Amino acid sequence: MTDRRTLTRRSFLVGGLATVAGAGAASWWALDRFVVPHVEVSDVSAAEDDAGTSSSAGATATVDDTSATSDAASVQIRTVSTGSGDDTITYHVAEVTLEDPTALRSAFAQDQFGENITQKVSEIAEAHGAVFAVNGDYYGFRDTGIEIRNGVAYRDEGAREGLALYRDGTARVYDETATTAQELVDAGVWNTLSFGPALLSDGAVIDGIDEVEVDTNFGNHSIQGEQPRTAIGVVDSSHLLFVVVDGRDRGYSRGATLPELAEILRDLGAQTAYNLDGGGSSEMWFDGEVVNRPSNGGERATSDILYIGGAS
């Protein structure tokens, strides 16, 4: 007859091994999903060349300390501080006028498309001869969303409220689940961004943005509260605003809530505005320098940027 204590001990060992195996599987899943690079397109520049969407727009840009002009776009940058003491908010505004709407381009980290592929904003910008850049939607953190960049459809997994920027200089917020990437490309969409939420509609702050969550999956944090922010605003056709709010640095800049971010863009004249990835990713880069103070104490690697070309 087998001793009951032996049975108990064996049961414990089997259960323990199952727990360890389960923990290991969960750890590997998390690493594979959020850390290990998954390359889907290994040479984005070649893919865009093949699609006929590559461009040298902006290659004759001239630059001074606060502005850049070219045959395709102009960029003017200023820094604003409001409030005082621990309630100070400091943000950076880039006002962009596009002579050629396709001069606003996107670039991916390492010139590759896929999940968990990252690179510093400055490195991506320099690799593409940019004069101005901001972080994008960090598409590589997720495997959903419609991602069209420089006229090429890279992902077609509608999941949220996106922003579409068209070849004619117009823009609109849209429901990704109600269309397809190909339909958008056929309609003239040049770039899409998949993060959100939308902040302004017809110049008015959208209700409920202080409750929206984006990506509640494993390892992600709330986008609410006082945070560093990046957003794009549309004043009118080919007239854009990029705003980067610094944060997590009391006395210099506490960050902004989503309603505060929307109010900043509204007061700057935007009619439509859309929230991009923020926190440690928030960065504005201009003429070889980081304009803002990233909250990580330095640049955080991200998956993509929006940029205006400079010297080729």
pTM of the predicted model, to two decimals?
Answer: 0.85
Domains: count for the chain:
2
Token output for 148: 């069209």
Q: Output DSSP code: residue 36.
A: S
The predicted structure's pLDDT at residue 113: 97
Local confidence band at 7 (pLDDT 50, 70, 90 cut-offs): very low
Q: Are residues 30 and 81 in the same domain?
A: no
Region of residue 271 (phi > 0: left; psi between -120 and 50: alpha; otherwise: beta): alpha
Query: Domain span at residue 8?
Result: 1-36
Q: Are residues 8 and 139 in the same domain?
A: no
Q: Is the pLDDT of residue 143 over 50?
A: yes
Nearest to 173 by CA among 153, 199, 152: 199
Q: Are residues 217 and 148 in the same domain?
A: yes
Local confidence band at 81 (pLDDT 50, 70, 90 cut-offs): very high
Q: Is the pLDDT of residue 67 over 70?
A: yes
pLDDT tens for each residue of 294-307: 998 999 999 999 99
Nearest to 79 by CA among 236, 253, 214, 312: 253
Cα three-residue angle 75-80-85, rounded to 5 degrees? 160
Q: Are residues 83 and 216 in the same domain?
A: yes
pLDDT tens for each residue of 209-263: 998 877 655 555 568 899 999 999 999 999 999 999 999 999 999 999 999 999 9
Q: Are residues 32 and 89 in the same domain?
A: no
Q: Are residues 62 and 92 in the same domain?
A: yes
Q: Are residues 133 and 28 in the same domain?
A: no
Q: Are residues 135 and 220 in the same domain?
A: yes
Q: Are residues 144 and 245 in the same domain?
A: yes
Q: Are residues 15 and 117 in the same domain?
A: no
The predicted structure's pLDDT at residue 12: 31
pLDDT tens for each residue of 95-130: 999 999 999 999 999 999 999 999 999 999 999 999
Q: Is the dihedral of CA 102, 108, 109, 110 positive or negative?
A: negative
Check residues 66 and 202 and name the one with the higher pLDDT.
202
Q: Are residues 2 and 97 in the same domain?
A: no
Q: Which residue has the tokens 């998949």?
A: 194
The predicted structure's pLDDT at residue 214: 74
pLDDT tens for each residue of 164-200: 999 999 999 999 999 999 999 999 999 999 999 999 9
Q: Are residues 166 and 224 in the same domain?
A: yes
Indicate the range of 45-54, 135-144, 173-182 predicted with least confidence: 45-54
Q: Is the dihedral of CA 186, 188, 194, 197 positive or negative?
A: negative
Q: Is the pLDDT of residue 292 over 90?
A: yes
Q: Is the pLDDT of residue 4 over 60?
A: no
Q: Is the pLDDT of residue 61 over 50?
A: no
The predicted structure's pLDDT at residue 131: 95
pLDDT tens for each residue of 11-43: 333 344 444 455 566 565 456 555 677 778 888
> Strand pairing of 73-82 and 62-63?
unpaired
